[in-house]
């Protein structure tokens, strides 16, 4: 018998936990995420090509007493469906936040 199974999508996010001042911009880069079942490489450079079918869903939550609390809307100008989440300086009030990424395919 032969059992062939798909591998899960691979999430690759540059960075990690960060501490910023309110007047600093934030960029979280998930552009290296990929589907290991459909890996395409550039013939000349050997670099992994971007999988245009991947869907990125970023979520923002306030952190209260060490736990992620209510979901918040991203401030104006943030792209909550892009490969790179960018928040402008001073777009969030001082506090602690949890930002999560859900990666999927149609």
What tokens does 90 get? 């001073």
Distance between CA atoms of 101 and 104, rounded to whole angstroms? 10
pLDDT confidence of residue 81: 93
pLDDT confidence of residue 97: 92
pTM: 0.81
| pLDDT, tens digit only, all 106 positions of the chain | 888 888 999 999 987 788 888 889 999 999 989 888 887 778 888 887 777 889 999 999 999 998 888 899 999 889 899 999 999 999 999 999 999 999 999 8
**Residue ranges with strand state E in the chain:** 26-29, 55-64, 67-72, 84-87, 97-104
């Amino acid at each position: 018998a032969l059992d062939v199974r798909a591998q899960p999508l691979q999430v690759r996010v540059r960075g990690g936990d960060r501490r910023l001042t309110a007047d600093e911009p934030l960029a979280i880069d998930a552009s290296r995420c990929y589907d290991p079942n459909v890996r395409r490489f550039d013939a000349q450079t050997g670099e992994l090509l971007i999988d245009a079918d991947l869907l990125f869903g970023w979520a923002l939550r306030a952190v209260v007493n060490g736990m992620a609390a209510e979901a918040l809307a991203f401030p104006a100008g943030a792209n909550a469906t892009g490969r790179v989440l960018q928040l402008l300086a001073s777009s969030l009030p001082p506090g602690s936040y949890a930002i999560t990424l859900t990666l999927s395919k149609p």
